[in-house]
Amino acid sequence: MPIVVILLLALLVGMFGFWDTLQAVLGAAAVVVLVVLVAVASAVVLGVLAVRRVKGRS
């Protein structure tokens, strides 16, 4: 599997150039990080709401 990734990156560099490929890879990594941050923030908000609801019933 890693050889496929290396070949794909080599193909992208050949087609679009190094800097465009680097920009695309870094952009994709940033999108993954943002999705993870949104998921963590959603979990925190849901946790806070659940704790408030449980404390309100006591």
User: What pTM value is reported for the model?
Assistant: 0.71
Q: How many CA atoms lie within 13 A of 32 on its CB side?
A: 6
List, for residues 6-37, the tens digit of each pLDDT value: 899 899 899 989 999 999 999 999 999 999 99
How many structural domains are present in the chain?
Answer: 1
Of how many residues is the chain composed?
58
Higher-pLDDT residue of 5 and 40 is 40
pLDDT at 44: 98
Separation between Cα atoms, residue 28 and residue 38, nearest integer Å: 15
Q: Which domain holds residue 52?
A: 2-57
Give yes or no for residue 58 having a pLDDT over 80: no
